[in-house]
Amino acid sequence: MKKKKNQSDRAFEKSESIIAKPFEDTPEEKRTVLRSRAKRLSQEIESKGRDEEYFEVLEFLLAHETYAIETPFIREVYPMTEITPLSCTPAFVFGLVNIRGQILTVIDMKKFFDLPERGITNLNKIIVVRKDAMELGILANEIIGIRNIPVNGLQPPLSTLTGIHAEYLKGVTGERLIVLDMERFLTDRRLIVNEEVET
């Protein structure tokens, strides 16, 4: 009985010393511990970042082809609601849509890039993209999802891959996913409608 008590006493002393220890650390010791922890943490992230750099894209279906847009250009994806066609505009202007009180122009990329219409496709999503003051909706058949693409996995585009001219393409992944160059597209002067009635 006495022995047993001794044992538990010792165990108690031990745990007490463990509990008390951090409080006994000198500021110097604490700093060392923290510094080594910080070093460990920083190294881990560094090694992760060096090997693979990714960028995020939204993958979608348009005219039976899969395309991708970098997510920084995307404001939101909106379900297709009532679209008002607009007269006296080029064919690529599909119409106007009301997104929470904002009137937004919806563009049909098939018309803009002169892609062949292959059968009936069900357009049911609007991808809202923007760069500076330029803000518009792009018609899409279906949203596939968001995924990460390794930066160095992007190859220069081949114009034979799709009907879209190579200058509007950022690149093609190994799985032949076509990444559109939104920067180029949204700053294209051909996109701007500015017409007066001629007299």
Partner 1 sequence: MNKKNGDFQKRLLSTFRAEADEHLKNITAGLIELEKDLDPQVKAGIIETVFREAHSLKGAARAVNQTDIETICQSLESVFSALKRQEIDPGPFMFDTLHQTVDILNELNLSSPEGVRTDKAKLAGIIEKIAKVETGQTDVLSGLPEHPAIQADDIVRRQERMPSDTIRISVEKIDLLLRQGEELLSLKLMADQHSDDIHDLINMFEVWQKQWSKIYSTICEFRRLQERNDKQGKKRRKDDKQNYKVLEFGDLTHDNMKVFESKLIELRRTGDRHRYTTALMVENLLEEMKKILMLPFSTLLEAFPKFVRDLSRDQGKDIELVISGEGIEIDRRILEEMRVVFIHLLRNAIDHGIEKPEVRLRNKKSPRGKIKIMVTSMEGNKVDILLSDDGNGMDMPALKDAAIKRGIISLEDAAKLTDQDLPAIVFQSGVSTSPVITDISGRGLGLAIVREKIEKLGGQIVLETHRHTGTSFRMTLPLTMITFRGLHVTVAEREFIISTTNVEKVVRVKHEEIKTVENRDTLSLSGMTIPLLRLADVLELTEKNGDLPMMTVLILESQGKRVGFIVNEVLNELEVLIKSLSQPLTRVRNIAGATILGSGKVVPVLNISDLMKSAAKAAVYGPKPDRPEANGEVTRKSVLVVEDSITSRMLLKNILETAGYLVVTAVDGIDAMTLLKTEKFDVVISDVDMPRMNGFNLTEKIRGDKKLAELPVVLVTALESREDKERGIDVGANAYIVKSSFDQSNLLEVIRRLV
Enumerate binding residues for partner 1 (CB under 8 A): 81-82, 84-89, 93, 96-98, 100-105, 107, 133-136, 191-199
Please answer whether residues 184 and 165 qualify as being in contact, where contact means their C-beta atoms are separated by less than 8 angstroms. Answer: no
Q: Which CB atom, from 171 or from 185, has the smaller least distance to partner 1?
A: 185
Give the DSSP letter string of 61-101: EETTEEEEEEGGGEEEEEE----B--SSS-TTEEEEEEETT
CB within 8 A of 165, min separation 6: which ones? 113, 159
Q: Which CB atom, from 49 or from 85, has the smaller least distance to partner 1?
A: 85
The C-alpha atoms of residue 96 and residue 135 are separated, in whole angstroms, by 12
Task: State the nearest-atom distance from the C-beta of 109 to partner 1, in Å.
Answer: 13
Task: State the nearest-atom distance from the C-beta of 87 to partner 1, in Å.
Answer: 4
The C-alpha atoms of residue 134 and residue 147 are separated, in whole angstroms, by 25
Q: Which CB atom, from 66 or from 105, has the smaller least distance to partner 1?
A: 105
CA-wise closest residue to 51 among 183, 150, 156:
150
Please answer whether residues 73 and 128 qualify as being in contact, where contact means their C-beta atoms are separated by less than 8 angstroms. Answer: no
> Tokens in use for 88?
């006296």
Q: Which CB atom, from 48 or from 189, has the smaller least distance to partner 1?
A: 189
Task: State the nearest-atom distance from the C-beta of 126 to partner 1, in Å.
Answer: 13
Task: State the nearest-atom distance from the C-beta of 166 to partner 1, in Å.
Answer: 22
Task: State the nearest-atom distance from the C-beta of 46 to partner 1, in Å.
Answer: 26
Q: Which CB atom, from 19 or from 88, has the smaller least distance to partner 1?
A: 88
Q: How many CB atoms lie within 10 A of CB 7?
A: 10
